[in-house]
Amino acid sequence: MLINCLTVRQFRCFTERVFDFQGAKFIVILGKNGVGKSSLLEALHYGCYLRSFRTHVHKDLVADSSDHFFLSVDFNLEQISSRDQLTIGFSEKEGKLVRLNQKIVQSYKELTAQYRIVTLTADDVQLIQGAPERRRDFLNYSLLLARPDLITCFKEFKTILEQRNSLLMQGNVHNDELVVWTEKLWYVSQLLQQARIAMLEDIEKRVNLLLATYFSATEGALTVRLAYTIKGGTDVDFATWWESWQAKQLFTERRFGRSLFGAHLDDVIISFQLRRARVFASRGQQKLIVFLLKIAQTQAISLQGEPAVLLLDDFLTDFDEQRIADCLSVLAHLNVQIFVTSPLSHTTFFKDHSNDTFFIKMD
């Protein structure tokens, strides 16, 4: 996928502006804080997920003194050589209207086979420091972009979980009905867990290959391990598992009115040099791990369908010069379109370390 042009109206700090990226593969957006660098990337990100990476409130994206915003993204699909247009309008009265080539889109999941974005921001350090939900979301979005066929499985899981929780909250529900929904949750959880584990293993291999290829000369021998942990355990057949679960956990589930096993509770343990990265890795090491996770995610997605576009929002600029150079070497060999925001002070650095770079200066 190659993004050619972005039009924004009444979005964040923009009244109306058109950005022509001239078919470039590496775009650096330069400017001081507050001029709209992150908002430009936010608009591109919004086109994929139909939500911002900075807020979940749509009206927060509307420019001051306005009650609506409009986005238009013109892009090419590389695999089928097509020209496409995505348009998004939002108003506080009428809500959101999304069209892909004039056809109405109801959900971001309808876009995942064509308009695919991976975004990296400073807040993504929460992949290591934050709650398990952040790591599950990372895997879920990776899977939905790489394997749109799993959308049905995710929807089914959500429906089953809601139904089982509803039964648990009722308290006096007949045990046979609960068994039926428990078994459904157990099986669909296994399907999602197997898909997540396969994706995680692929990402781990890619991360360590990137470390060995681009960072060993300056950083030494580094390793990252990604271990998937299953809450409640599902390593036996359902009948055996259910017999044990009834005896040990069902009373607690009824007491709290919610399911205490399933793919919605799993986690990923991220280790660096065989120790928990959350505790033992420095801030700089954590940022490097997150950078490599996103690069590996981009690689994995791009090998299964249309290549993704990578957005980096002021993520590299607080690395030292050697690490920035190493990261830029990674980006130079990543065969996707890349957008990077940076302060003006780094203009020369990007010119020195990047080829075929298109610069946009914002003021």
CATH number at 89 reads 3.40.50.300
Per-residue pLDDT of the chain (363 residues; tens, 9 = 90+): 999 999 999 999 999 999 999 889 999 999 888 899 999 999 999 999 999 999 988 889 999 889 999 999 999 987 777 789 999 999 988 899 999 999 998 877 778 888 999 999 999 999 999 999 999 999 999 999 998 889 999 999 999 999 999 999 987 666 888 999 999 999 999 999 999 999 999 999 999 999 999 998 777 788 999 999 998 776 678 999 999 998 899 989 999 999 999 999 999 999 999 999 999 999 999 999 999 999 999 999 988 888 999 999 989 888 888 888 899 999 989 999 999 998 866 666 666 655 678 888 887
Contacts of 314 (CB under 8 A, 6+ apart): 37, 38, 121, 122, 341, 342, 343
Regarding beta strands 117-121 and 82-91, do their DSSP bridges make them parallel or antiparallel, or are they unpaired?
unpaired
84 within 8 A of 77, measured Cβ to Cβ: yes
| Same domain membership, residue 171 and residue 43 | no
Q: Supply the pLDDT for residue 345.
A: 66
CB atoms within 10 A of CB 153: 16
| Same domain membership, residue 350 and residue 237 | no
Domain of residue 24 covers: 1-116+306-363
Q: Strand (E) positions, 210-277?
A: 224-229, 267-272, 275-276
- Domains contained in the chain, number: 2
| Same domain membership, residue 109 and residue 125 | no
Q: Supply the pLDDT for residue 303.
A: 87
| Same domain membership, residue 173 and residue 131 | yes
Q: Supply the pLDDT for residue 234.
A: 66
| Same domain membership, residue 181 and residue 73 | no
Residues 298, 310: Cα–Cα separation, whole Å: 7
The enclosing H or E element of 337 equals none
Q: Which of 297, 147, 310, 145 is nearest to 226 (CA)?
A: 297
Q: Supply the pLDDT for residue 352.
A: 61
Boundary of a domain, candidates 242, 270, 297: 297
Q: Residues 315, 331, 78, 197: is their CA dihedral positive or negative?
A: negative
| Same domain membership, residue 176 and residue 163 | yes
Using a 10 angstrom Cβ sphere, with 0-12 exposed, 13-18 middle and 19 or more buried, the burial of residue 13 is middle
Q: Which two tokens stand for residue 272?
A: 């660096």
| Same domain membership, residue 52 and residue 131 | no
75 within 8 A of 308, measured Cβ to Cβ: no
| Same domain membership, residue 150 and residue 291 | yes
Q: What is the 3-state secondary structure (H, E, C) of 72-93?
A: EEEEEECCCCEEEEEEEEEECC
Q: Which CATH number belongs to the domain containing residue 215 in this structure?
A: 1.20.1050.90
Q: Supply the pLDDT for residue 70.
A: 97
53 phi, psi to nearest 5 deg = -90, 0
| Same domain membership, residue 125 and residue 112 | no
Boundary of a domain, candidates 242, 271, 297: 297
329 within 8 A of 362, measured Cβ to Cβ: no
| Same domain membership, residue 1 and residue 102 | yes
- Give the tens place of pLDDT for each residue, 313-357: 989 888 888 888 899 999 989 999 999 998 866 666 666 655 678
Q: Strand (E) positions, 182-337?
A: 224-229, 267-272, 275-276, 309-313
| Same domain membership, residue 208 and residue 313 | no
Q: Calculate Rg over the CA atoms of the chain.
A: 22
| Same domain membership, residue 353 and residue 242 | no
Boundary of a domain, candidates 297, 328, 347: 297
Q: Supply the pLDDT for residue 354.
A: 58
One-letter amino acid identity for 245?
A: W
